[in-house]
Amino acid sequence: MNKILEINEETMRITAEAGVRVSDLIRFVEEKGYMCLEFPSMNRASTLGSRVALDGYNRYYDRWGSSGSYVEAIEVVLPYNAKAVILGRGSRVPNKSQLGFQLMPLFFGSKGALGVITKVTEKIVHRPEAYKYGIMGFKTLEEGIKAYIELRKRADSIWKAKSYNKWFLKQATLPLMGKEWPDDVEILTEFHILGDKEVVETVEKKAYKICKQFGGFWRTDMPEPTFVIKMHETMESYMAMSGLRSERVITGGVGNRLVPLDPAVPDGKLVNFYRDYFALLRKIEDGESYPALATALKVLEPGTLVPASYGWTKFWVAFLAFWPRIDEEVRKEWMRWYREFVDLVWRYGGTITMTHGGMFIPRERRIEFIKREIGEREYELMKLIKRTLDPNNIMNPYVLP
C-alpha cells in the first residue's frame, strides 16, 4: 500500500496507494518539476489515506484549501460487502462531472469509520517561478494579530500568513537555538509569497509595508529570520520537545505525551479571544486553579495563529502530559478545565477542533459536544450513514458514539 502508481502530466494528476508517505509523494512530484499541493507540517509521518480520512489541513490552505479541495478521486473498500469502489467528483474520471452523485466527500473527515481508503488521486500544479518569505516582530499581541489579519486579505498572492506568540517562542528558541527570547517582543508574524517573479517582488514590498504599518520590526537581538522555517523543516525534532521536560531524560522512565487541541475562531474576534484564552491556559500551571492537573500537564504550545477557512484562524495547541502522574483526580480536573475551554471557544463563535485533537475530547462529553457543534438532526444523519455503510459497526467504532 505504499506505491506511487501513475503520474499523468497531460491531466496534471498523480495516483498513489493510501500508505504512501506524503514526504515521498512531495519528493517524487518535485523531481518531475511540479509542486504537490498536499503538504502537511508532519509530512514525513502523514500518509495519503490519512489525509483523506482527516480532510487534512496543510501549508497551502489559504491558496488551495484542505485535502478535499484537490483530491480528485479515491478508491475505498466498503465494510458492508468488502468491495472496492472508485469515487470521484461525479465520475470515475478525476474531474468534475454532474452525471453521478458526488459520494467522495462522504469520506473526507470520516476518520476511518466508513471504509478503508486504498488509493488516492490528486492534482498537481506547475512549480511557481518565485518564492519569498518574510517575518517581523511586534511589541503587542494586538499589533501582531492585526498585521496577520491584514496580510490574510491578500490570500490571492500571499499564500500563507502565520503568527507565533512569546509564550511558545521562549520555550522553543532556548532549547533549540541556545538563545533567550527578548521579553518585549510579544508576537511574530510571518508571510509566504509564491508566483511569478515580478508579482512576488511587488507583493513582498506590500507585505513589509503592512507589517510596519502595525509596528513591525526586526532587531539584532532576535534570532536569524529564517529560524522559523528551520523549525518547520525539522518539525519532528521540535515536536520532540515533549521529551525535554520528561523524567525520561534523567531516569530513563516514561516520557511525556503530546496532547493536541485545535480550536478555530473568526478572525475578527482573535484579539479578545486570545486574552481570555491565555488567562484560561495559565490556570493549568498556576497550581491553584487545578492543583492536580498542574503536576501532570505543561503548556508547550499555547496556540500559534494559522489560517483556516478564509476569515477564520485555527490554533495548534500542544500540552505535555506526564503519563505516570495522571490519576483520577487529574482526569476530573481535566474535564473541568476542558469544559471551560469549549465554553470559551463557543462564546466567541468558534469550533473546538478544526483538524487535530478530536481524540482528546473526554469520551463522557463526546456526544454532547458533537451535537452542540453540528446539531441534533445532523448527528442522527451521521449515525444513519454510518449504519448504512457499516451495519456491523466494524470500522473505527469509537469515532461516532
In-domain check, residue 244? no
Q: How far apart are the first and last CA of the chain?
A: 29
Q: What is the CATH number of the domain that holds 285?
A: 3.30.70.2740
The range of the structural domain enclosing residue 380 comes to: 366-401
Q: Which of 178, 159, 147, 134 is nearest to 64 (CA)?
A: 159
Q: What is the dihedral of CA 374, 378, 383, 387, to 10 degrees?
A: -140
Q: What is the pLDDT at residue 337?
A: 95
d(CA 22, CA 381): 32
Residues 148, 92, single domain; the answer is no
9-to-37, 66, 328, 393 alpha-carbon distances in Å: 15, 22, 57, 40
What are the DSSP calls for 321-348, one per residue? EEGGG--HHHHHHHHHHHHHHHHHHHHT
Is 10 in the same domain as 120? yes
- C-alpha cell of residue 254: 516514561
Given 85, 103, 126, the domain boundary residue is: 126
3-state secondary structure 360-388: HCCHHHHHHHHHHHHCHHHHHHHHHHHHH
> For residue 341, is it within any domain?
yes
Say whether both 381 and 401 belong to one domain. Answer: yes
Residues 188, 139: contact at Cβ < 8 Å?
no
**Is residue 219 assigned to a domain?**
yes
Residue 242 lies in a domain: no
Q: Are residues 167 and 139 in the same domain?
A: yes
Same domain, 161 and 209: yes
In DSSP terms, 266 is beta-bridged to 312
Q: Which residues fall within 8 angstroms of residue 176, CB to CB, at 6 or more apart? A: 231, 237, 238, 241
Indicate the residue type of 366: R
Residues 398 and 310 in one domain: no
Q: Which three cell numbers stand for residue 310?
A: 478564509
Kindly state the helix (H) or strand (E) to which residue 286 belongs, with its residue range.
none
**Pairing assessment for the beta strands 84-88 and 71-77 based on DSSP bridges:** antiparallel
DSSP-assigned states of every residue in 265-284: EEGGGHHHHHHHHHHHHHHH
Q: Is the dihedral of CA 109, 115, 118, 123 positive or negative?
A: negative
3-state helix vs strand vs coil in the chain, percent to 5 = 40, 25, 35
Instruction: Note whether 304 and 251 are within 8 A (CB).
Output: no
pLDDT score, position 256: 57
CATH of the domain at 113: 3.30.465.10
Low-confidence residues of the chain: pLDDT under 50: 235, 238, 240-246, 248-250, 252-254
Q: Is residue 294 exposed (0-12), middle (13-18) or buried (19+ Cβ within 10 Å)?
A: middle
Q: Which of 126, 141, 164 is a domain's end point?
A: 126
Give the separation between CA 114 and CA 321, rounded to whole angstroms: 31
CATH for 134? 3.30.70.3450
Note whether residue 385 is domain-resident: yes
| Domain count across the chain | 4
**Residue after which a domain boundary falls, among 109, 126, 143:** 126
* Residue 102: inside a domain: yes
Burial of 162 (0-12, 13-18, 19+ CB in 10 A): buried
Q: Is residue 70 part of a domain?
A: yes
Considering the domain architecture, whether residues 112 and 32 belong to the same structural domain is answered as yes
Cα–Cα distance between 42 and 58 in angstroms, integer?
9
Residues 96 and 171 in one domain: no
Q: Is the domain of 12 the same as that of 31?
A: yes
Q: What is the pLDDT of residue 97?
A: 76
Judge whether 245 lies within some domain.
Answer: no
Say yes or no: 220 and 206 in one domain.
yes
Is 397 in the same domain as 344?
no
* 320-370: pLDDT as tens digits: 888 788 899 999 999 999 999 999 999 999 999 876 655 567 777 888 998
Gyration radius from the chain CA atoms: 22
Unique residue bearing C-alpha cell 489525509: 51
Half-sphere exposure of 17 (CA within 13 A, CB side): 7
Residue with cell 453540528: 374
For residues 354 and 379, membership in a common domain is answered with no
**Which whole-number Å values give the CA distances from 142 to 216, 258, 268, 315, in the listed order?**
12, 29, 12, 16
